[in-house]
Chain A
Amino acid sequence: MPVTDSPFWNPKTETLPREQLQALQLVKLQHLVRRAWDTSPFHRRLYEKASVTPDQIKTFDDIHRLPFMTREDWMECQAQKPLFGDMITRPESEAIRYHLTSGTSGRQPLRVLDGRKDWSWIADMWCYGFWGFGIRPTDKVFFAFSYGSFIGFWGAHYACEKMGTLTLASGNMSTEQRVKQIVEMGVTVVCATPTYALRMGQTAEKMGIDLKKDGKVRRIIVSGEPAGSIPAVKQMIEDMWGGKCGDTAGMTEIGTIMIFECDHQPGGPHIIEDHFIEEVLDPDSGEPMAYGERGERVVTSFGRGFMPLIRYKTKDLVCKVPYTTCDCGRTGDIYEGGILGRVDDMKLVRGTNVYPRAVEAVVREHSEIEEFQIILSRRDDVQDEITVKVELKPDQADQWTRLEGQLQKDLAEAHEGLRFNVELAAQDELPRFELKAKRLQDLRPQY
């Protein structure tokens, strides 16, 4: 069989019977926990505190003995021992990539390092997803992506090079230039956030370009926002582009994707289970949820050597259903409807994580400000906007001209360059709170 006829990137493990898949996960888990214990003081501390040792991981269910790891723990460890904390398993000098994501509070970002092998593995996970959604070496793949410090589609770019597609980067282009190049080059696959895929579609319309007739795009691969698994949003994207839209999801803490939609699109993405253990747990009790019940994603990743990720509480809300929901032959289970939302207050704005308390920490650095509100809205049905409205102390009105630019700059710096609108509110315009403050309004339509 010619290699391109394989529907799977890795037929051997993507179709493993479940009991063998779990046996494989156990072997990998045992190695991972042992390595974390031996090389990461952060993990050794965590495990000693929980009185658990690597040799206690004898069966798959023993994973429940391992304590959870949280983003707060991680950030705390980085704050205690800048810049990377004591969870890195190798000397910093052996890393080849540095990326970051906005923090949960204040200005400190979450920082990640990858070694040469990690970076290659990161690309490989995207290969599972791209190949599984029908991308082949003959495709021309366009990345509508900024290629900055945010990890985003970086791994996917290298995945496409590895697979042998023609790979088009567009970091410095305007939306108009991107649309033009997609048509001119006969691009067959476009990668973007769902919001930006819609924006490019709208821009094409304004330019008098009918992407369905003038373009050759047959696949749109989206990532970075839960909207990618919302049928109505997908339909809008497909109507604009004339190609099939498939969702993927990943996170900076993993460095790559852990789920992707296969070509059969059974209503949710498959989990890459030979590289990840994805547990779905009750966010409060930590008890496992049954198939079909919503709970919090807790991930263990076997791939990133520099920073072991074991039972990491993601705060993503998901609903797992068995692999048999899809008839593609993969035995990786499925997250029905993709990432459904959050169990905390994090918001996604144009692919960037925004925590209200991190915004507050930046706003509160400016003593001239008395009260504020964060408003999320959607412009022209597609473009997410984040606006911080501030009310100054009565005697500070003359500070606004200076403060406006400074606040915009500080907020952007704390959020991977995300553009914030900053507006001045009139005296006493904003609500005041006595108990639980509600300083965030999400006015975006919910699908």
Chain B
Amino acid sequence: MTNEATDLLGNALSADERELVDIYTRLKALSGRDDLPPVATANAKQAMVLMWNACNDLALICEEPGCD
């Protein structure tokens, strides 16, 4: 995870950008849990990769989300 205070270009994150990264981070945490029912895990993963795209395309993060 990169420093959440700035994007990959070193610019401070806007409030909207912070919210996007925050949602992504929370979804990633949910995706990694193994104690949730399949319906929760699978849909969290789908949602997480969509948020990864938003954050990655906006140069807010640079990482592989690391879930199947």
Contact = CB atoms under 8 A, between A and B. Distances in A.
A116 B46 contact: yes
A13 interface: yes
Contact of B68 (A31, A93, A162): A93
Contact of A115 (B9, B58, B63, B68): B68
Interface string B1-12: 000000011000
A13 B58 contact: yes
B62 interface: yes
The residue in B50, B52, B53, B67 that gathers the most chain A C-beta atoms within 10 A of its C-beta is: B53
A412 interface: no
A27 interface: yes
Contacts of A90: 68
Contacts of A124: 53, 57
A113 to B, nearest CB: 11
A127 to B, nearest CB: 9
Interface in B24-68: 45-46, 49-50, 52-53, 56-59, 62-65, 67-68
A125 B45 CA distance: 20
B46 A12 contact: no
A117 interface: yes
A202 interface: no
Nearest to A93: B68
A437 B58 CA distance: 52
Contacts, number: 52
Contacts of B64: 35, 117, 305
Contact of B9 (A20, A117, A120): A20
B60 to A, nearest CB: 10
Contacts of B50: 120, 162
Contacts of A149: none
Given A31-B63, A115-B68, A120 B52 contact: yes
A10 B58 contact: yes
Identify whether the interface residues of A are mostly helix, strand, loop, or mixed.
helix
Contact of A13 (B45, B59, B62, B65): B59
Given A10-B57, A274-B57, A117 B52 contact: yes
Contacts of B58: 10, 12-13
Nearest to A91: B68
B56 A121 contact: yes
Contacts of B49: 116-117, 119-120
Interface residues of A, number: 27
Contact of B45 (A20, A95, A116, A121): A116
Nearest to A13: B59
B59 A24 contact: yes
B57 A94 contact: no
Contact of A117 (B8, B57, B59, B65): B65
Nearest to B52: A117
Interface string A104-121: 000000000001110111
A185 interface: no
A162 B46 CA distance: 12
Interface in A246-305: 274-275, 305
A305 B59 CA distance: 17
B23 to A, nearest CB: 15
A28 B62 contact: yes
A440 interface: no
B57 A13 contact: yes
B62 A27 contact: yes
B47 to A, nearest CB: 10
A20 B9 CA distance: 7
A274 B68 contact: no
12 contacts: A12-B58, A13-B59, A24-B8, A27-B62, A28-B62, A94-B68, A95-B68, A116-B68, A117-B49, A121-B53, A124-B57, A274-B59
Interface of B: 8-9, 45-46, 49-50, 52-53, 56-59, 62-65, 67-68
Interface of A: 10, 12-13, 16, 20, 23-24, 27-28, 31, 35, 90, 93-96, 115-117, 119-121, 124, 162, 274-275, 305
